[in-house]
Structure 1
C-alpha cells in the first residue's frame, strides 16, 4: 500500500502511537515487563505489512509499525467514520471524525492492549455478547493498537476487518521477507561531560540508546535538555525524573506513571543511572558514505553552567567472511 505523503498522515501517526502507548500505561496498571515477552518475536516468518494491493478509501492511512512490538497504526484526515473489528468480528474501536471511542465490553479491545493479546475479563468470558459500552478515549483522528495475529509467525496472512463509513472493508495483511542486512548506523560519543560526577556512554553498537549516570561525587543535580533548551530528564540526588508532559515523554522508552499539569515530573529510576532512547541519535545522513552528528545538552539544575555531549553517526558495513 503506498503511504500517502501528507501532513495529516505524519502528524496523526506520531500522535496516535504516543497516545496509544500512554493509554496502555494509564489504564492497564497490571502490565509488567513480562507482558512484553513477545516483543522480540513476530518476524521470523517474514515482516507483517499491509499488502501493496490493498486499496484504502481516501483520507485513511493504515500501516504496520514496530515499537516495542508490531502494531497497527491508523491515521485519518479527521473526517471519517471507521470501526475496527476484532477476530470475533465485533467492533472494538470507533473513529467518528476527530473523536476516538472504545467498546469496553468488546473482547477485541482487551486483546488489543498487549502485543500477544491482553487478558480478557472474566465477565466477558462468561458473556462475550455483552451490550456495547462505548466510551470516549480522546479527541484525535488516529490510534495505534496491538493485534495478536501480527506476532504469530505461522500465520502467513490474514484480513483486518473494518467498517469504513458504513461499508465493510477487509485489508489483507501479509508477511514479506526482510531485506538482507548490509550494515548499521553506529552512534559514537566523542567527548566526555564537563561536569564532575556525570558519566555518559552509548551502551550499544546501534540504535538510539544513551546512558547517563550521576555518581556520588557529583555536587549538583543535572538536567538533560531537548533541542529547544527545555529539560525533559533530571538526574537528582534521589533518582532520575522524567517530565511526563514533554513531547518526548512517550518516545524515550521509559516506563512511567502519568503526571499532571501541576506535577508533571515523575520518577523513572531509584538510582542515579538512566538508559533511554534519545531521538537525536536517529538523525541519520542520507548516504552511508556521510557522517552524521548529534548533540545532547546537559546543564546544572540550579545554575547556568551547561555542557554539550557531542557524537557522530557512522555507517558500519557488515563484511561477509564467506566471500
Structure 2
C-alpha cells in the first residue's frame, strides 16, 4: 500500500512508534532477552507488507515497519473510531478519535507486547472470555504494536481484522521478496572535532547512526544543533539530554520518557556518550555515481563558537566473490 504523505501520517507515525516502545519495552514486565531473540528473524520468507490492493478508509494509514522487529504502525487523523482484532477475533485495541484504549482481558493485548507473542496470564488461559476491561492508555491518534504472525516466515499471507467506524475490514498482509542488495551508502566523517574533550565517529558501515562522546577532559558542555541552529541534544556533565519537544525527537531512535513544554529536556544517557540516528546522514544523492555531503553543527553550550562536523556519503558496490 503506498504510504500517504500527509502531515498527519508523518507526525502520528513517529509519535505512535515512540509511544509503543515506551509502553511495550519500558513499562512491560514481560520484556526479556526473548525480544532480542526474535529481532533477527521474520524476513527469510519475504518481507511482511500491507498488500498494495488493501483499501483503508480515508483518515487511516497502516504500515508494517521494522524497529527491533516487525510491527504494525497505525496512524489516524484523530477523527476515527477503530478497533483492532486479535487472532481470536476479539478487539484488544481501540482508537476513539485521539484516545487510545486497551482491553486488558483480551489475549490479543498480551500477545501484542512482544514480537513473537507475549505470555498470556493464567487468569485468561482459564477463562479467555472474561468481560472486557478497557483502560485508557494515552491521548494520541496512533500506535505501534507487535503481531506474532509477522515473524512466522512460513506464513505467506494472513488477514489483519479491524473495525473502522462500525464497518468490518480485513487487511491482507503478504510477504514480498526483497530486491537483491547490490551495494549500500556509506557515511564517512572527514574532519575531527575541534573542541577539547569531544569525540565523534560513524559507528557503522551504513545507516545514519552517529556517535558523540564528551570526555573527562572536556572543559565545557556541548549542544548538537539542527539545520536551523536549534539544539536538540546536549552532552552535559551528568549525561546526555534530549529535547523531547523537538521535531526530530521521535526519529533519533533514543528511548526516552515524555517531557513537557515546561520541562522538555529528558535524560537519555547516564554517560557522556550517545549514539543516535541523525536524519542528515540519510540525505542520499540521486545517482550512485555521486558523492553526498552532510554537516552536523556542534557548539559549546555557554558560548557561540560552533564546530562543523562534516562528512560524505559514498556508494559502496558489493562485489560478488567468484571462486
Whole-angstrom distance in 2 between the partners of 1:255 and 1:15? 12
* Cα offsets for 1:273-311 (capped at 9, x unmatched): 222221221122222233222211111122222211111
Q: 1:92 to 1:272 in 2, by over 3 A?
A: same
Provide the residue aligned with 2:54 in structure 1: 54
Give the deviation of 1:124 after TM superposition.
2.8
Q: Does 1:199 align with 2:199?
A: yes
**Secondary structure at 2:303's aligned position in 1?**
coil
Partner in structure 1 of residue 184 of structure 2 = 184
- Judge which range, 207-216 or 10-19, deviates more: 10-19
Distance 1:239 1:140 in 2: 30
CA contact (8 A) 1:255 1:268 kept: yes
**Equivalents in 2 of 1:232, 1:203: separation in Å?**
20
Distance in 2 (alpha carbons) for counterparts of 1:244 and 1:122: 38
Distance in structure 1 (CA, Å) of the matches to 2:90 and 2:290? 50
Structure 1 residue 48: deviation in Å?
0.5
The residue aligned with 1:28 is 28
Query: How big is the shift at 1:259?
Result: 4.2
Secondary structure of the structure 2 residue equivalent to 1:309: strand
User: CA, structure 1 residues 199+34, in 2 after alignment: closer, same or farther (shift >3 Å)?
Assistant: farther
Q: Which runs of 5+ in 1 are unaligned?
A: none
Point out the more displaced range, 207-216 or 112-121.
Answer: 112-121
Counterparts of 2:29 and 2:225, CA distance in 1: 29
Equivalent position of 1:214 in the other structure? 214
Q: Which residue of 1 aligns with 2:77?
A: 77
Cα deviation code 1:131-154 (max 9, x no counterpart): 212223333332221111101212
Deviation, structure 1 residue 264: 4.0
Q: Distance in 2 between matches of 1:119 and 1:249?
A: 31
**What is the rounded CA distance, in whole Å, between the counterparts of 1:266 and 1:10 in structure 2?**
23
Distance (whole Å) between structure 1 residues aligned to residue 238 and residue 29 of structure 2: 24
| CA distance in structure 1 between the partners assigned to 2:26 and 2:263 by the alignment | 16
Residue 226 (structure 2) aligns with:
226
Larger deviation: 232-241 or 63-72? 232-241
TM-superposed deviation, 1:121: 3.2
- Deviation of residue 21 (structure 1)? 2.5
After superposing the two structures, state which structure 1 stretch, 232-241 or 272-281, moved more: 232-241
In structure 1, the residue matched to 2:141 is 141
Match of 1:291 in 2: 291
From the superposition, tell whether residues 240 and 76 of structure 1 become closer, same or farther in structure 2 (CA, over 3 Å).
closer
Q: Is the 8 A contact 1:36 1:114 kept in 2?
A: no
- The aligned residue for residue 276 of structure 1 is 276
Contact 1:26 1:258 in 2 (8 A): no
Other-structure match for 1:310: 310
Partner of residue 121, structure 1: 121
TM-score, normalisation: structure 2: 0.90
Q: Which residue of 2 aligns with 1:95?
A: 95
CA distance in 1, matches of 2:237, 2:271: 9
CA-based RMSD of the aligned residues comes to 2.4
